[in-house]
Structure 1
Amino acid sequence: MTWQSPSGIRRIHIDGNERPATPPAGPGVTPAAPFPPASFPPAPVPPGPPPNSPPPESHGDMREADRIAAQARRDVAELSAQMAAVGDAIGGLLSGADAQWAERARAARADADAHRASAHADIDSAADRDSNRARGLLAAAVAELAPSAAGAGWSDDWSAVAATLPRYLRVGRFATSGGATDRDAGSVPEDVPALAPFLLSTGWYLKGDRSDTAALTQSALLRLAAMVPLRHLRFHVFDPRITGVTSGLAPLRSVSPGTLPTPLHSVGEFREVLAAVARQSTGNAELIASHHLGDLGTLWESEGLPTGDVAVIVVLDYPTGIDDVTHDLLVRLAETGPARGVSLLVVADPTGNAARGVKPKELARALTVLDHRTGHWAVPGLPAAVPVVDEGPPPASVVQPVLAEVIRRTSDTKGPVIGLGELIDRFVDDPWRETADDEIEAVIGRSGREPLTISLRSENPPHPNVLIGGAVGQGKSNLLLDIVYSLAARYGPDQLEMLLLDFKQGLEFKRFDRDENGENWLPHARILCLESNKAFGLAVLNFVNDEMVRRAELFTRTRTNGFSRYRATTGEPMRRMLLMIDEFQVLFDGHDDMTTEAVRLFENIVKQGRAFGIHVLLSSQTVSGISGFQVKGDSIFAQFPIRVSLKNTREESEAILSRHNTAAAELTYRGEVIVNRNLGMAADGANERGIAAYADPDLLTRVQSRLWRRAAEDGPVAEPWVFLGRSHAQWPQRVPAGHPGTSIGWLGRPLAVTDQPAVTDFDADGDSSVVLLGSGDDVAATVITSLVLTATSAWERGSRVVVLNGHPDSVTAPTGFLELLRPTIESRGHTLEIVERDQIVAALPDLVDVTTRVMVVGLGLHRVDLTTELGTDPVTYETTTAADLLKRITGGHGRSRASFIGWWPQLRALTDALGYDHAGVGTYVLLRVGIDDLRSVAGPHAIPPEGAPRIGVFHRNDDHGLLEVIPFGPVDPTITFEATR
């Protein structure tokens, strides 16, 4: 029997036994099939009678039921078999999937491991590249800061050393085990030198055990000796306990005794050395300042050769043996010396006792303190977390070859050394024995065993002029000194005068000028031109050309036809003249009118000068490519039969000597020369090879002093006319006063060869006041100072100098430079009065129509209200203002004895004060002014002066136009004004 369950699932009942067609579902019952029953549709059931049909016959029902049951069993069996097959298939699939996924997992892990290894390799490679780059950067930085020996380790190659001033020296090396340390600890790669600044910026103050500080001292001195040319290096050692720390460098004395003088033990001797070093640093400072550079190292780089000396002051066992005076000198040199080539290396003795007034901490503050602790150096500025390993003293395996190389290099550079004293001592002992009738001859060195000479003469045969060339650093300046002093020792100032021009912008010719005591200049020097410029060079050429004209007139009057004949006929002491121009190409390079005129005058001088006893010596590093000589170069150089060349390139050898004469390129030593007296032609053995003498500076100083004293025996020695291109004009030692009561003011020296200053006369008829226009406090101060001092020098006692200071209190010391004149003014019996801004208007009435001498100096008057009314005339009813009174003072109306000097920043301010006619102004001093103001005063074609310090002077009442004038420098206490006696 069958029935339909409410859920629609058919149930079958057979033989009274009930068996569900599908297993009952419920808790705890496990299905027979691997999937839930709902996964398969129920077996099909044959359609039965409708629900309300009458029941069939019972036997038919049973047979039908049996049939159906049998069919159901068959279906179930078949279905079970199918389900088993599906289960087997699914199991196989699952087993294959597991194996596939396992294989994929293994492949993925292998790929991950490969990628990880590749990534690690890339990281390691990048790290290596970064490390190598860092090492390269560090190596480049070390090479820049401490090249070659300055930064080399004891195991490095010391053979390649550079002749330079190292700014840093090696102290040790960083203590690292490899690679890099923790970044936060200041990581550095291994084997990197630890450097500390030394030359040119600071000195060292070493603290630590005696052996450790001695080792670093020896290391530093050896590195310096390896790099700095010995002729320019001085080690001054103070060794109070005679420790001999620097004795290892003693072999250097064999080639350069001055490099390592014997160590000093007496503080008195040491103090004298320090004073000499201070003077040397002053000389270096002048050289540096003249080139507008920052320190001696930059000067060496700019010049391309060593200039000035480097001094290293080594103080051992400090403060033992040092007194307070010496200590003060050390502190001053420590603070100001490094840039000027003076550095201190002070080794502290912790057990030493300081004398009264000696303050070790004060000296230490001025130096870089290097402290040795437990085998390491503490260096300021380096990472504190990375110790600097002390590498100990220089080993003998380094010291011996380094010193041998330094000695060899020094010897090779100089070649055979011939002292100039060997050649000219006999003339110095008995100077001026020879006359210049026929020629002047200079002994400049030796050629083999014979003297090497240069002779200048007008005829038989004529050798009037000399051309000298040489590469940088080959001894050209030394050769010029040989010539000058050899001639000066043989011929007296009555036989020879020299015009010495230096266009190299150096101060080599400064030695020919007076010393710090105002004495001992070269008595033969008539013109001494330092830091030359074209304008002054042209003035010198004009002077020489005028001298030729003057001598030609003398020859005409005496019916003589040349220099020698004139001297023989008349017996008059006409002197030969030597015009020496170093780096002459500067004067003739360019395409402007000044260059054209210079070439014209020079050509005339070199072609005609020999007949008048005028000779020219030109020297230069290069004589090729001079633009001014492009047209006339051949005709000019044809007047120079004597050619001298130091070592040079092949091209310059041919330019100086002649085409195909390359002998100068084959020279070996510094100071070795080729002398050719046949226009440089190499044929017939005309080249004479020799060694120029070494002009020792100390020798030259002694020779010049001796010659000056010899000249002084015959009376006052004429000073040279000195020109400094970037300096103020020099005051003469004695400034003569004018006639009593006169008022001549000095403005400076005109840019011309003359001993007469540029002046203005405050007593001239008509306009006589002086006005300064423009900016430039320093120059204005020196001009006003010189005007006041000279104009009042001949005034009677009781005269006054009144300064009207219109500047507000916020302006710093506008009258300070005049206060410096108070002692001189008062020593003359005059008074100096300063009238401040708020009192100027009230003071003006008392300065009008004065009967005693008054010099009124107006400063900052454009800041004063000159429109202030001071009263009304009862007759004309005209109102008088402060400006009206100022015009009466500047114009010198009536019988007033007032003179006036004023300073305004621009022309408009002057016009506001004195009106459009600038009442009473006779002389304008133009400082730094605009071109419109300059040409409004001096004319539409006026050109502002070049260089500094310079002023333009325009006198309203003459037709000379704008004069270029070099103002005098600040008044030196040694200057004597005659009226002060």
Structure 2
Amino acid sequence: MLRGVSRTLTEFRREAGHPLERYRLVVLLDYPQHVDEQLHRQLLPLVKAGADAGVSFIIATTPGTEGKPDWWKPNELDGLGNTLKDNGKQLVWPAHAQFDVTIPETDAAALARNVDDLVLQAASASAPKVPFERVQHLDARWDESSADRLRFAVGLAGPSVAEITLGDEREQRHNVLITGAVGQGKSNLLKVIIHSLGQRYSPDELELYLLDFKEGVTLFPLAPTPGSPDYLLHARVLGLESDRDFGLAVLRHVEAEFARRAKLFRPYGDSISRYRAAVPEARMPRIVIVVDEFHMLFDPNDKTAEAAAQLLEAIARRGRSYGVHLILASQTVSGISALMTREGGIFAQFPIRLALKNAAQESYATLGQGNDAAARLRVRGEAVLNLDYGHVDGNRQVVVAAADDQELAQLRHQWWLASRETTPPPLVFDGSRLIRASDAMDTIRGLRARARDGSSAVALVGYPIDVTGQPFGVQLGAEPGRNLAILGAGEPGGSDLELEPTNNAIGVLQTAALSLALQHPEGDAEFTSIEALDDATFERNEHHLWLTAMERLGYPVHRVGRGELPTYLQELAGELETREADAPPRYLFGYGLDRVTALDTPDMFAHKPSEDLQQILRTGPAKRLHLLGWWANAATFRSHIGYAGEGFIDALLMLRLDQGTVQDLLSPFITWHIRDNRGLLADRTQLPEPTTIIPFAPLTAREASVLERADWQA
């Protein structure tokens, strides 16, 4: 480490201005017991040269030669340092005979307490603070090209800046693996990497796909928010509290980018550097995918985990040609090693390893068997940088720069001011955020414009977990089966304590109705609300806001109560016999249909109201009448629609249904588990396979106001 710059570690630290490396003390008791002559000869030059390198020895041996090996020379160590001798009466320091040497009496319990205090202090110690601007110059912005490589700084290795290079065709290092125990500075390290890249490369040279599989705290400041409209210009995707489905969608999106780039590169060679050299005016940024806590993609070990492993492996292996690089960070990789170490596995594609302080097992998993350097780090903020697949000879100890959040925020704001007009904000995915009707206003405007050309209306039901940012809808054409059934509990238990309405079933029906209504600019559609829920549920989910919004938008809703429903269905089924196929569209929205027990009660002629419901489902779509209904109980749903009735409902949205019930309704091969703010949408004619979505939540007063005040004629 000294490399001839300084004669001693002390001088080296003084010149650097901060305590690089650390002093080491080696204590050998009862020397030379259990030491052979060869080991002794190896020790002598270490003792002689160690002090200059900051390594000191205390060697304790008994006087004389009794019990010593034949090769032992009692005074051989005297010339290598200071010697204290016990003459039987007192300690003597031969080099300073005029001094009396006294060892004070020490209380063992007090000594133990002092040691315990020191252990606690050492465990919480941090590395010396290295300012970010010391490793990344801030006087020049976006002055580097990514045509041939990417470079970024992470901290100091001795007095030198520790930099990492990705994409260089000569060095062939393209991906980075980062590990570190909780509280050891992994989030800080990721912020340093992101902002070092952002300072060096413009958004035309670099695009970032950032995913966080924990709380999302690290990435949240990089997204636009109502209180802070600026955002990280380089970010194309920000996954805050990402779930596995979204992570998979991002990886698929990036893999698809390979095909697009391959077509562009083919006439000029097989790599981004050759393409950039041949077409210098083209915009072709390198892509860096940063995934924090990436091990969550593999928990549990199911089809999603297998798909994620295959995609990561493909991106890591093929990404170098297309300018795509991976930075994977996690507290642990040992638990997924078995999954990732098959032939040609992903870790073989990660020559660059950055290991913060961790357990020995994790050090081995990150750096390689026998390389426990990460376990021997002593303070938070230190890391082992290895550019050789974790080979022990490639270890470099680094003090990671300190990422001051306020300073980095100012830096991002400067970038934003420089290029906000030409760089769109990122797609921000927050897996826990409730989505509501106003989020889909742009899509509704597009559907409204398309409706003027005679296209079938589309009922919006939620957002897919992907990077398109476009909501899913159920197309309600004249084909048989174009109805929608929502099945399962709409809200989690105890949601009556929520501050905002959260019933997804109610939210989907409300948003579906609003989106359908606005696709009828002439106001010729009819809307009916079948209300079988209790007043408390409607009040908790502010159902009145939807009714008022529909009326103010010019689409008043006819309301049918639970007691009126059997008669209403009978009349409606009768009307269908004479209803014209080009009659004005009519939409029925059923809230809590499983609560209408009278549907299975026969009258004096043995006729059940559920038979009228089945007739509506069977013949309604061809005559522009569609039912969108919610049954919390799947068994009641099946009873209501009757034998083979599922054939007249193409679209099913599963909310809080157990996997067994979902498999009975769809397929025994479906994998599904109940999650808040998630649904499984199946559409027999529109979707190739059931798809997980984020269903809409009910309107709030703010949402209703936004929709009512919008200029829908524009």
TM-score, scaled to structure 2: 0.69
Question: In the alignment, is residue 497 of structure 1 matched against residue 229 of structure 2?
Answer: no
Aligned equivalents of 1:816 and 1:835: distance in 2?
Answer: 18
Question: In the alignment, is residue 803 of structure 1 matched against residue 493 of structure 2?
Answer: no
Matches within 5 A, 1:103-118: none
- Given the superposition, is the C-alpha separation of residues 610 and 458 from structure 1 closer, same or farther in structure 2, using an over 3 Å criterion? farther
Question: In the alignment, is residue 671 of structure 1 matched against residue 381 of structure 2?
Answer: yes
Instruction: Please name the residue that 1:899 is paired with.
Output: 626
The CA deviation at 1:643 is 1.8
Contact 1:723 1:729 in 2 (8 A): no
- Given the superposition, is the C-alpha separation of residues 833 and 480 from structure 1 closer, same or farther in structure 2, using an over 3 Å criterion? same
Question: In the alignment, is residue 944 of structure 1 matched against residue 676 of structure 2?
Answer: no
- Given the superposition, is the C-alpha separation of residues 629 and 419 from structure 1 closer, same or farther in structure 2, using an over 3 Å criterion? same
- Given the superposition, is the C-alpha separation of residues 526 and 827 from structure 1 closer, same or farther in structure 2, using an over 3 Å criterion? farther
Contact 1:458 1:611 in 2 (8 A): no
Question: In the alignment, is residue 954 of structure 1 matched against residue 664 of structure 2?
Answer: no
- How far does the alpha carbon of each residue in 1:245-266 deviate from its partner, in whole angstroms, 9 at most, with x for none? xxxxxxxxxxxxxxxxxxxxxx
Contact 1:482 1:693 in 2 (8 A): yes
- Given the superposition, is the C-alpha separation of residues 979 and 879 from structure 1 closer, same or farther in structure 2, using an over 3 Å criterion? farther
1:735 counterpart SS class: helix
Aligned equivalents of 2:189 and 2:343: distance in 1?
Answer: 24
Aligned equivalents of 2:674 and 2:237: distance in 1?
Answer: 21
Contact 1:727 1:948 in 2 (8 A): no
Question: In the alignment, is residue 858 of structure 1 matched against residue 590 of structure 2?
Answer: yes
2:538 counterpart SS class: coil
Question: In the alignment, is residue 713 of structure 1 matched against residue 421 of structure 2?
Answer: yes
Question: In the alignment, is residue 740 of structure 1 matched against residue 451 of structure 2?
Answer: yes
Matching residue within 536, 544, 565 for 1:819:
544
Contact 1:577 1:613 in 2 (8 A): yes
Instruction: Please name the residue that 1:392 is paired with.
Output: none
Aligned equivalents of 1:411 and 1:959: distance in 2?
Answer: 55
Instruction: Please name the residue that 1:790 is paired with.
Output: 515
The CA deviation at 1:797 is 4.8
Question: In the alignment, is residue 523 of structure 1 matched against residue 246 of structure 2?
Answer: no
The CA deviation at 1:751 is 3.5
- Given the superposition, is the C-alpha separation of residues 564 and 937 from structure 1 closer, same or farther in structure 2, using an over 3 Å criterion? same
Aligned equivalents of 1:869 and 1:658: distance in 2?
Answer: 73
Matching residue within 609, 631, 636 for 1:909:
636
The CA deviation at 1:759 is 1.7
2:349 counterpart SS class: coil
Matching residue within 839, 856, 861 for 2:564:
839
The CA deviation at 1:939 is 2.4
Instruction: Please name the residue that 1:343 is paired with.
Output: none
The CA deviation at 1:422 is 5.5
Question: In the alignment, is residue 695 of structure 1 matched against residue 403 of structure 2?
Answer: yes
- Given the superposition, is the C-alpha separation of residues 744 and 522 from structure 1 closer, same or farther in structure 2, using an over 3 Å criterion? farther
The CA deviation at 1:421 is 5.0
Aligned equivalents of 1:542 and 1:894: distance in 2?
Answer: 36
The CA deviation at 1:733 is 7.2
The CA deviation at 1:880 is 8.8
Contact 1:806 1:864 in 2 (8 A): no
Q: Which amino acid in the other structure matches residue 694 of structure 2?
A: I
The CA deviation at 1:838 is 3.1
Aligned equivalents of 2:640 and 2:379: distance in 1?
Answer: 69
Instruction: Please name the residue that 1:43 is paired with.
Output: none
Matching residue within 249, 264, 272 for 1:554:
264
Unaligned runs of 5+ in 2: 1-116, 492-502
Contact 1:439 1:455 in 2 (8 A): yes
Q: Which amino acid in the other structure matches residue 521 of structure 1?
A: Y
Aligned equivalents of 1:586 and 1:456: distance in 2?
Answer: 25
Instruction: Please name the residue that 2:276 is paired with.
Output: 567
Contact 2:174 2:326 in 1 (8 A): yes
Matches within 5 A, 1:604-683: 604-629=314-339, 631-632=341-342, 635-683=345-393
The CA deviation at 1:834 is 3.1
Larger-gyration structure (1/2): 1
- Given the superposition, is the C-alpha separation of residues 482 and 800 from structure 1 closer, same or farther in structure 2, using an over 3 Å criterion? farther
The CA deviation at 1:500 is 1.9
Matching residue within 449, 473, 483 for 1:759:
473
Instruction: Please name the residue that 1:722 is paired with.
Output: 429
The CA deviation at 1:710 is 3.5
Matching residue within 124, 128, 142 for 1:416:
128
Contact 1:769 1:891 in 2 (8 A): no
- How far does the alpha carbon of each residue in 1:36-88 deviate from its partner, in whole angstroms, 9 at most, with x for none? xxxxxxxxxxxxxxxxxxxxxxxxxxxxxxxxxxxxxxxxxxxxxxxxxxxxx
The CA deviation at 1:434 is 2.9
The CA deviation at 1:481 is 0.9
The CA deviation at 1:881 is 7.3
Aligned equivalents of 1:590 and 1:870: distance in 2?
Answer: 51
Question: In the alignment, is residue 749 of structure 1 matched against residue 463 of structure 2?
Answer: yes
Instruction: Please name the residue that 2:489 is paired with.
Output: 775
Q: Which amino acid in the other structure matches residue 463 of structure 2?
A: R
The CA deviation at 1:565 is 1.1
Q: Which amino acid in the other structure matches residue 540 of structure 1?
A: V
The CA deviation at 1:747 is 2.1
Aligned equivalents of 1:511 and 1:487: distance in 2?
Answer: 17
Q: Which amino acid in the other structure matches residue 901 of structure 1?
A: L
- Given the superposition, is the C-alpha separation of residues 792 and 950 from structure 1 closer, same or farther in structure 2, using an over 3 Å criterion? same
- Given the superposition, is the C-alpha separation of residues 652 and 933 from structure 1 closer, same or farther in structure 2, using an over 3 Å criterion? closer
Q: Which has the higher contact order (CA 8 A, sep 6+)?
A: 2
The CA deviation at 1:668 is 4.0
Instruction: Please name the residue that 2:15 is paired with.
Output: none
The CA deviation at 1:446 is 3.2
Instruction: Please name the residue that 1:472 is paired with.
Output: 182
Contact 1:785 1:817 in 2 (8 A): no
Instruction: Please name the residue that 1:316 is paired with.
Output: none
Question: In the alignment, is residue 921 of structure 1 matched against residue 633 of structure 2?
Answer: no
The CA deviation at 1:608 is 1.7
Aligned equivalents of 2:238 and 2:331: distance in 1?
Answer: 21
Aligned equivalents of 2:303 and 2:563: distance in 1?
Answer: 52
Contact 2:476 2:621 in 1 (8 A): no
- Given the superposition, is the C-alpha separation of residues 518 and 779 from structure 1 closer, same or farther in structure 2, using an over 3 Å criterion? farther
Matching residue within 665, 680, 693 for 1:965:
693
- Given the superposition, is the C-alpha separation of residues 502 and 807 from structure 1 closer, same or farther in structure 2, using an over 3 Å criterion? closer
Contact 2:240 2:428 in 1 (8 A): no
Aligned equivalents of 1:923 and 1:592: distance in 2?
Answer: 26
- How far does the alpha carbon of each residue in 1:657-681 deviate from its partner, in whole angstroms, 9 at most, with x for none? 3444444344343212232223333
Instruction: Please name the residue that 1:979 is paired with.
Output: 712
Q: Which moved more, 1:693-702 or 1:657-666?
A: 657-666
Q: Which amino acid in the other structure matches residue 183 of structure 2?
A: G
Contact 1:945 1:951 in 2 (8 A): no
Aligned equivalents of 2:352 and 2:661: distance in 1?
Answer: 51
1:820 counterpart SS class: helix
Matches within 5 A, 1:158-237: none
The CA deviation at 1:954 is 1.4
2:598 counterpart SS class: coil
Aligned equivalents of 1:696 and 1:868: distance in 2?
Answer: 69
- How far does the alpha carbon of each residue in 1:312-355 deviate from its partner, in whole angstroms, 9 at most, with x for none? xxxxxxxxxxxxxxxxxxxxxxxxxxxxxxxxxxxxxxxxxxxx
1:979 counterpart SS class: coil
The CA deviation at 1:628 is 3.6
Contact 2:180 2:186 in 1 (8 A): yes
The CA deviation at 1:616 is 0.8
Matches within 5 A, 1:72-87: none
- Given the superposition, is the C-alpha separation of residues 662 and 410 from structure 1 closer, same or farther in structure 2, using an over 3 Å criterion? closer
2:325 counterpart SS class: strand
TM-score, scaled to structure 1: 0.52
- How far does the alpha carbon of each residue in 1:152-176 deviate from its partner, in whole angstroms, 9 at most, with x for none? xxxxxxxxxxxxxxxxxxxxxxxxx
Unaligned runs of 5+ in 1: 1-404, 872-877
The CA deviation at 1:533 is 4.1
Contact 1:503 1:583 in 2 (8 A): yes
The CA deviation at 1:898 is 3.6
Instruction: Please name the residue that 1:264 is paired with.
Output: none
